[in-house]
Every structure is written in C-alpha cells, then in structure tokens.
Structure 1
Amino acid sequence: MSACSSTMRNPAEIQGTLVFFDLETTGPGPGCDIVQLGAVSGGYSFNLYVVPRCKIYKGASALAGLRVRHHQLFFHRWPVPTKSHQEVLTAFLGFLQTLGRPLLVDHNVWQFDCPVLERALEEVQLSHAFRQVVAGFLDTFSLCQELLKGQGLRTRRVW
C-alpha cells in the first residue's frame, strides 16, 4: 500500500483538521528532489528546506527563487538553513501528529506532490509511519476542474 493510496476524494467526507501543504522541487519530473516542504493548518505552520541531491532546473529555480551554490541553498540570494531529507520528513510527521489525523490538501497532489513525497518517504523508510498519521489527501486541482467546468477557462503549464 502506498502513502498516496489513503485518499479521500469526496469533500463531503472531510472531518477533522485540514493541512494545506506544498513542495518546492528541483523540477517537473517524477524523479525530482524536494527542496522545500511547507504546510499550514490554523495557526500552525511548518517550513523546512533541503539541499537537493540533484541539479535544480532553471524553470524551478525561477519559479521558487531557490538556488544552490557550493552546497548551500539560497532563497533570492539569501542563504537559508537546511536539514537532511530524513530530518525534514521526520519533522513533518511530527508536525502532522500534533494535529491528530489530518487531511492533506494540495493543488495537483495526485499527479505530482504525492508521488514525489511518497518516493522521498520510502527512501528514508517513513512510508508506513506516514500512512498511520494522515487521513488522506484532497486535490484542489481536481476540485477546480469540477467547479470551473464549462466556464471557458484554460489552464497554463508553468514549466
């Protein structure tokens, strides 16, 4: 069972705490690396950075304002403190545990963020613990598509 398989797709089923989260990554592909993991729920927030293990694509760097120079991560020319992947993911689980068994909300979670997060969790052997902490996922991209169906609006790719 994957971390992404504990899904909740029907907004009417939502109970408990919502955690809005997002990843900044080295690029658009499934093999990209996490550079930043941020989340917010009510008055609580989480934000940690990681020096990626691979090169950051120019488009990702321009979009997020993150660059690596000499194994140091910079956000718009300012150095930011970083932690290892293990430390960031362990801290994220701790953050989620303080909120009960929350539902994670993200834009495009099914196609991008969840597979990237799942791979990272598997690499540090935290997938099982993650599944125990999280109630599921809600994808705002899917909700937007449904709400805006027939409105004549078009989506645009960032990459």
Structure 2
Amino acid sequence: MTNMVRIGAALAVVALMSGCSSIRERRGFRAEEVLIQSVQPGIDNRTSVERTLGRPSFISQFGEPVWYYVGSNTAQKPFTTPRIEQQTVLAVRFDAAGNVASVDRSGMEKVARISPVGETTPTLGRERGFLEDLFGNIGQVGAGGAPGGAGGQ
C-alpha cells in the first residue's frame, strides 16, 4: 500500500509541475528565411511578393507604398498575460511602378513598451454624478421661450 501512495504522490507532483510550464505560441507571419531571401529589389513586383510571402499583415495608408509582415513568439505562464519573446517585422517597399524597392527587417529593438497611467481616460468637460446625468436635461431641451427652444425665433 505504501508503494501506491508514493506513486500517487509522484503523479500528483508531476501533474502540478506540468501546470506551471509556459504556453508558447507563434502569432502572425512565419518568417521563412528562404522565402524572405527570394524577394529581390528591382526583380520582384507586388504580385510575385504576394505569391511568395502571402498577403501582408497590413499595408501603409500614407506615404510610400509599404507592405508589412509582422510575426511574434509569445510565452504565457498560467494566469498571466502573454509576453512577446521575439518579434519580426518585414517591410517590403515598392516604387511607383509597383516593383520592390527594398526589403527591411527589424525585431525587438524597435518594440516600444508603454505603461498607461491610471485606468481612466481623461476627458474635457465637468464631472457629473449619477443623478445629474439622470435628471440634468429636464427642462433644458426644447423649452418654450428659451433661446434655440421651440417657442423662440
């Protein structure tokens, strides 16, 4: 019976330890080195880039035409938010004719970490309580004789 208790305790410890491991996930574009190297400035165009790398994560809306391919590796411990361990951004720039002008790659060195202050967004205006919100406009809108009201000219 003691062997059964030891085996049961060992299995319980293994089960608890497996719950503490990180969950690793790949998100977005998968940067395959062979495919990235095959995109050549002056040779490829938008169609060939889309056939090689697929549709971009997003496309620039202003300025020169740039296609961005974004991918990241994340890790998450139980009951925490995921954190980015590695990120790759591939920027494919095109000239006016639609041919590849340049291919640039960046990583974690350009990731900006921000820490918002507080949990509310400041707004212009005054603070009003619940009752002011509920009853504040009674008599304000469409009052006869008031400027802009139904009875005024």
TM-score range, shorter chain: under 0.3
The TM-score normalised by the length of structure 1 is 0.18
Higher Cα Rg, which structure: 2
Relative to its length, the structure with more helix (as a share) is 1
User: How high is the TM-score relative to the length of structure 2?
Assistant: 0.18
Higher relative contact order, chain-length normalized (CA < 8 Å, sep 6+) = 1
